[in-house]
Structure 1
Amino acid sequence: MRYQLSFSIFLFICLFVSCREVENPRTDFGRDYQPLEVGLFWIYEVEETIVFGENDSQTEEYFIRDVIEYSFFNVQEEEVFVVRRERSQDRSSWEQFSGYSLHFRGNALIRNLSNQKIVNLVLPVQVGRNWDAMVYNNLPSDIFEIAFMGDATVGEQFFQRSVKVLQEEDDDEITFRDNRYEIYARGVGMIEHYYEVFTYCSRNDCLGQMIKDSGRKTHLKLSTYGRI
């Protein structure tokens, strides 16, 4: 009798919890991996190397500040957030030099830069999940993949609940190198951006020597963030 009563109570609890889950379906898919709100800003330390030709390159360090300036609703009734990108050498004097927009389409985070829409993140995050980042462009597919979830250290800062999106990792050591990734931290946004795309000299006298003859390496690391 006691066993039957205990089992009945257990069954009732299970049914109650199940009903609660149906009444309150999961709505937190992790959109705060990239918070979107007017007034938010992120400042990044940047190290950039541009290769113009063999033995001809330029390396510089500077700062980038991304500020969500305003938002609007597009024809799909999605709220689009417009980001102003500024540059500085000393973090005291800023000059705007580009911009882009961010918005969610369903559970996909889309960045629109120079009229090219790139799906930077797909929610909910899960290691091994992949997608075509160029699905909204008339361009060849470019598969991004979630390669890591967990803690991340950027500079001297430690971030929990981070996710690394591997965009490309390829180097044939003969003609080209293409390494790209971004890391997002929940409640913060993008904390690191790495872009390294080079071509190697392919003449007979330098083939296979991995001599860079064109391309760029740009590395952004989050310095500070907040609200203006």
Structure 2
Amino acid sequence: MKYTSYFFIFILLVAGCSDSELEPDQSIYGYEYFPLATGTYQVFEVTQTDYLNTGEVVTSDFQIRHEIAESFVSDEQETFIINRFTRANENDDWEYLNTWQSRRTEFNAIVSEENLSLLKLVFPIEAGVSWNGNSFNSLEEDTYVLDSLSFPFRLNDQGFENTITVIQADNQDFIVSLDTRFEIYAKDIGLVYKEIVNLNYCADENCLGQEIVETGIEYRQALLEYGAL
């Protein structure tokens, strides 16, 4: 009789729990750093410097706009269509550039930049975790590292209180080449800053170690605005 009473008390306690109490807390995964929703957009300011093998250095400033206007479901997985536009400055009309795709699973955030699928983030978010950014394509392994977590970040006149930084490359050779790449994501916004510096230095005997750039690119992309379409 005593054990029967304990059994009924246990049943009542379980029945009293709401569905929300039994569901896992998704905030611990960090999905808010990679939000995806139709009807949203982002505008970025871009500065790109190209070092050509002719010795010419070409710097250009322009803007890029990402619009998520639609999505589709395949094998129970929702994929978001990102239409990209470009213009020289705010006085020009937007011109269509290309289309990317993005999806977020329970453990991965993947962006298909044209025909190249890159694993941008892994969940749950955890400082120091590393992964192969080329897990979803046929390129050689490229190790990404989540370097910082929940850090404030200042971008021009904008302040983001809660960001994460993904180091995609940090090869600071300074003799033959330089390859540094990273992206910063803000909570409830997504990507806010991206930087690529990939330079090849002169390796001849008379200039080795002098950091004379022969070819390469410097690319910096900073968020200007975001919101609903």
TM-score, with normalisation over the residues of structure 2?
0.86
Match of 1:66?
66
Q: Are 2:200 and 1:199 equivalent residues in the alignment?
A: yes
Give the whole-Å Cα distance in 2 for the aligned partners of 1:71 and 1:91.
Answer: 28
Match of 1:9?
none
2:165 match: secondary structure: strand
Structure 1: segments with no counterpart, 5+ residues:
1-14
Match of 2:100?
100
Match of 2:140?
140
TM-score, with normalisation over the residues of structure 1?
0.86
In structure 1, what residue type is equivalent to 2:128?
G
Match of 1:125?
125
Match of 1:11?
none
Is the contact made by 1:54 and 1:212 (CA closer than 8 Å) also made in structure 2? no
Match of 2:30?
30
Alignment deviations for residues 170-195 of structure 1 (CA, whole Å, 9 cap, x no partner): 12111111010000001111000101
Is the contact made by 1:54 and 1:211 (CA closer than 8 Å) also made in structure 2? no
Alignment deviations for residues 115-174 of structure 1 (CA, whole Å, 9 cap, x no partner): 211111112211101111111122211111111121111121110121001111112111
Is the contact made by 2:171 and 2:179 (CA closer than 8 Å) also made in structure 1? yes
Is the contact made by 1:63 and 1:89 (CA closer than 8 Å) also made in structure 2? yes
Alignment length (residue pairs): 211
Match of 1:162?
163
2:52 match: secondary structure: strand
Q: CA deviation at 1:90?
A: 2.1
1:91 match: secondary structure: coil
In structure 2, what residue type is equivalent to 1:91?
E
Q: CA deviation at 1:54?
A: 6.0
Alignment deviations for residues 51-93 of structure 1 (CA, whole Å, 9 cap, x no partner): 102641101111111111211123x321111111111122241
Q: CA deviation at 1:22?
A: 7.0
In structure 2, what residue type is equivalent to 1:98?
N
Question: After the TM superposition, which of the residue ranges 155-164 and 83-92 deviates more from structure 2?
Answer: 83-92
In structure 1, what residue type is equivalent to 2:175?
I
Give the whole-Å Cα distance in 2 for the aligned partners of 1:118 and 1:67.
Answer: 19
Give the whole-Å Cα distance in 1 for the aligned partners of 2:22 and 2:106.
Answer: 21
Give the whole-Å Cα distance in 1 for the aligned partners of 2:62 and 2:146.
Answer: 29
Please list, as runs of the form range in 1=range in 2, the aligned pairs for 1:13-92 lying within 5 A after superposition. Answer: 23-28=22-27, 29-53=29-53, 55-74=55-74, 76-92=75-91
Is the contact made by 1:118 and 1:134 (CA closer than 8 Å) also made in structure 2? yes
2:26 match: secondary structure: coil
Identity among equivalent pairs (%)? 27
Q: In 2 relative to 1, CA 175–192 (structure 1 residues): closer, same or farther, beyond 3 Å?
A: same
Structure 2: segments with no counterpart, 5+ residues:
1-12
Match of 1:171?
172
Match of 1:225?
226
Q: In 2 relative to 1, CA 90–22 (structure 1 residues): closer, same or farther, beyond 3 Å?
A: closer
